[in-house]
Amino acid sequence: MLTRSRRLALALTVVLATGAACQARDHRGAESGHPAPAPAARSFTLVASGDVLPHTSVIDRARFDAGGTGHDFRPMLAGIRSVVAGADLALCHMETVYGENGDYTGYPTFKSPPEVARGLAATGYDGCSTASNHTLDDGADGIRRTLDALDRAGVRHAGSARTEQESRAVTVLRAGTARVAHLAYTYDTNGIPLPPGQPWAVDLIDESRIVADARAARTAGADVVVVSVHWGTEWQEAPDEQQITLARSLTAARAGERPAIDLLLGTHAHVPQAYEKVNGTWVIYGMGDQIAGEMVNHDGIKDPRGNQSTLGRFTFAPPARPGERWQVTRAEFVPQLFDVDAGRVVNLNRALDRGAEVKAVRDRIRTVVLSRGAAQDGLVMGE
């Protein structure tokens, strides 16, 4: 019997081989009958952002922006579109599942309007992680509706699945000439059991499994392997011991001569957390909430940190020699705010004319992001 990692390797091999065959057909020489040479590898930029968590107030705002008919999430995200659409590859985290026919709910059991997917696509997102503690809020039907809507919008996804076959396949995205594998896992599903007969519906965090999946993706031809992890302690700006320990183990794992994983993207904590280079690999412990309603922390107090986040932007350069890893040559973070009154994502570095309060929020986020020495490893604040 094939192991899951072996099945993943076979699935990814098929995906990559099919893509190569299509490319060969598209660029076949008219006279020679032979495929044109493959384009030279070039650098690419990858951006990633935090939790999309539509509370009831967010849903209401999207309905207002649509003129009272349907929901339009594009205006909410317009303030960050230039950053997202300007990247070669953009990844988000879709924390909630989608409802249908007006059956939409916020906290504690989320069912979001499927128009969220169209808003993400219009902003420039190419793919989203979908493994979170809310993935099973509406069981298997919620997963199906969510992935169906993302498919219709042209947004790829990783971390949950409608079928066992889909769960075995690896999400592979193109970033220029590079093939980027995206894997995603969550610490739990809020105690909701996996659907009967569907143990593959959501990918749960397990160190050995993550490493095996990453190695399978690498072995099958992925140039860069990105892993999204829904983890950590809510409302805690410092990464907890599980995050630190798992980050060290995952970034130390090897796939032949290369690291098994090239980038770790963290979500769940609701607040921005630090960036850190661990074993030569960038880790974002937590990006915070990109979209969320007014947040209340565990002490029952309204906490504006729950509407603050970062977007990570990494420039990857191809290896000098075949078989070596793609290197991050520039690492940046962009501080963001979700203005709950206006219902808009705000790029804080482009909103400093709003006054001292905005600058104070931006500076506080920067302090948190750099709290584990990332500046010494080259992380800078971008626009």
Q: What is the pLDDT of residue 35?
A: 61
20-24 contacts at long range (C-beta below 8 A, 24 or more positions apart): none
CATH number at residue 277: 3.60.21.10
- CB environment 169-185: b (16+ within 10 A), e (fewer): bbbbbebbebbbbbbbb
For residue 372, the SS3 value is coil
Domain count for the chain: 1
pLDDT per residue over 16-46, tens digit each? 433 433 332 233 233 345 566 667 889 999 9
Residues of the chain with pLDDT under 50: 1-2, 6-7, 9-10, 13-14, 16-32
Has residue 28 been placed in a domain? Answer: no
Measured distance CA(137)–CA(242) in Å, rounded: 25
Has residue 91 been placed in a domain? Answer: yes
For residue 36, the SS3 value is coil
Q: What is the pLDDT of residue 14?
A: 41
Has residue 35 been placed in a domain? Answer: no
Q: What is the pLDDT of residue 34?
A: 59
State which H helix or E strand residue 218 sits in: helix 207-219
Q: What is the pLDDT of residue 310?
A: 98
Has residue 169 been placed in a domain? Answer: yes
Q: Count the helix, strand and coil residues of the chain and give each as a percent rounded to the nearest 5.
A: 35, 25, 40
Has residue 218 been placed in a domain? Answer: yes
DSSP codes, 141-172: HHHHHHHHHHHHHT-EEESB-SSHHHHHSPEE
Give residue 175's domain range. Answer: 42-381
Has residue 32 been placed in a domain? Answer: no
pLDDT per residue over 103-125, tens digit each? 999 999 999 999 999 999 999 99
Has residue 61 been placed in a domain? Answer: yes
CB 28 within 8 A of CB 35: yes
- Which residues have C-beta within 8 Å of that of residue 309, sequence separation ≥ 6? 49, 50, 51, 272, 287, 288, 289, 290, 335, 336, 337, 338
Q: What is the pLDDT of residue 185?
A: 98
Residue among 150, 159, 123 nearest 267 (CA): 159
For residue 19, the SS3 value is helix
pLDDT per residue over 143-195, tens digit each? 999 999 999 999 999 999 999 999 999 999 999 999 999 999 999 999 999 99
Has residue 131 been placed in a domain? Answer: yes
Q: What is the pLDDT of residue 29?
A: 33
Q: What is the pLDDT of residue 1?
A: 42
Q: What is the pTM of this model?
A: 0.92
